Copies of this chain bind each other. A is one copy, B any other.
């Protein structure tokens, strides 16, 4: 059997390697249009930033090493220009001589990846406006930085955008970032992203949020970036990181089905609309583990594991692809942000009912030095408590909590289950009641009716139909509080019941939602109508962007 694989990075190389292990006799040809195969895509920003010193450490394999280890026929600089599905032949153009040839296949695998979006903006062809997707892109950006660039604008505050912000900042550039949405990291909900925005500000990075780029102009070799809000930024370098789109050019020309999200359509086993052509990686549109319909999820982990799945199917083992969660993580300076599953925005968009809880806690026991603050948001079904998604922002330990929650989500666990996850505890690593357990406790209290929450978004409406009461210590209240809130510190509450109205809803809050929960339990059992602010003042401030009295 002869297998031709188009694309030799994550999905393509995983397909080839796994297929060789399953079938020593198969003829396996990998056609890669770029100069490199199997390079570390996710490392590109860090060679620019200098964290990864050696360029060669990103180049994990060569055609020679793949021939020697896996007996693969890997051809770089070979671009497929057409697919003759009836004849089962691909047309190839080989660089550098431009020679063309036809390569027959028994089975074809499409792993062309995704292309960075380049909106048709005025002046986008300016030499200082660059994207980052492959080694050549990296080299071009690095050359500008090495050449003395002092100011950079990063357009797009998604995961790759923020990695570029950090890397350019690490090289001493003054960096500004522009994002169309009114928050950084659109995969997160805005109140979670706010912690990242605060951190960027502390690092001296200006974020222009809720505005778009209208065009680029030359300024003696530098580039002027015009924003819709009228701001003009000038930089030696502008990085376009506004997203990627599946590379479906070949698939479309060949008449293969493309899905509504714009990715190559695949069935449960990653086969395209042609039974002899499979597809994997960033170019496809496939099932989600948490969301109805097919989605494009351009992530390295799924791409690698999809390649493996395609190989299993090619080897005659019917192996469905289970779908993606969309688990992703980014580090920017000293802050990490990660998410898995659905966020609140997407749940609302899809019309899915949900509840939510927030945890603000140290990433390990507070009595051991070095605990870093962790902000966690968990979304779950209102009836069963089944997990729908989670987001975490903080320093150390963000990745661990999201990985635990991604595993729990995959297993179909609920917030009730989270309560009793037995996670490893020593004071350097966690707490006897880990933040994940805490999310479970709060979620279970909420579903059991022990906790009646109110949310940051209920303000200022909450002021109208009730009173807001701050139960934090006096100093905290005096430093900042929700506008209009009265102050009754928790330890005085039992003695000051007379000050509280019996006929109005009492909207309690504290710093993170624990003391106000205690207060709520005290008052509820005495007949008061009470709610406790989810996530406390920490979430309130994040939600409202620091609007406090």
Contact residues of A with B, CB < 8 Å?
10, 20-25, 40, 42-43, 46, 51-53, 57-58, 60, 68-71, 159, 163, 289, 299-305, 308, 322, 324-331, 336, 338, 340, 365-369, 399-400, 402-404, 406-408, 410-413, 417, 419-430, 432-434, 437, 441, 450, 490-491, 494, 515, 517-518, 521-522, 525-526
Contacts and interface: CB of A to CB of B under 8 A. Distances in A.
Which of A53, A324, A400, A526 gathers the greatest number of chain B CB atoms within 10 Å? A400
Contacts of A432: 10, 42, 300-301, 303-304
A420 B368 contact: no
> What 10 A-B pairs have minimum CB-CB distances, sorted nearest first?
A411-B411, A329-B424, A24-B525, A68-B491, A400-B400, A399-B429, A300-B432, A304-B432, A407-B407, A325-B422
Nearest to A426: B329
A400 B426 CA distance: 13
A490 B21 CA distance: 13
B24 A526 contact: yes
Contact of A417 (B408, B410, B441): B410
A424 B392 CA distance: 11
B424 A327 contact: yes
B402 A58 contact: no
A161 to B, nearest CB: 13
Given A322-B420, A491-B68, A521-B24, A408 B411 contact: yes
B404 A52 contact: no
Given A302-B422, A329-B425, A43 B368 contact: yes
Given A70-B518, A407-B408, 6 more contacts: A22-B521, A42-B365, A68-B491, A404-B404, A407-B413, A407-B421
23 contacts: A10-B432, A24-B525, A40-B367, A42-B425, A57-B366, A69-B490, A69-B515, A299-B425, A301-B432, A308-B441, A327-B422, A328-B425, A329-B425, A329-B426, A340-B422, A399-B424, A402-B424, A403-B403, A404-B404, A404-B407, A407-B413, A407-B423, A410-B417
A60 B433 CA distance: 14
Which of A57, A60, A426, A518 gathers the greatest number of chain B CB atoms within 10 Å? A426
A430 B24 contact: no
Nearest to A325: B422
A63 to B, nearest CB: 14
A53 B40 CA distance: 43
A294 to B, nearest CB: 16
A25 B305 CA distance: 56
A422 B22 contact: no
A127 to B, nearest CB: 29
Contacts of A411: 407-408, 411-413, 417
Contacts of A22: 450, 521
Contacts of A325: 422
A258 B404 CA distance: 36
Contact of A399 (B58, B68, B400, B412): B400
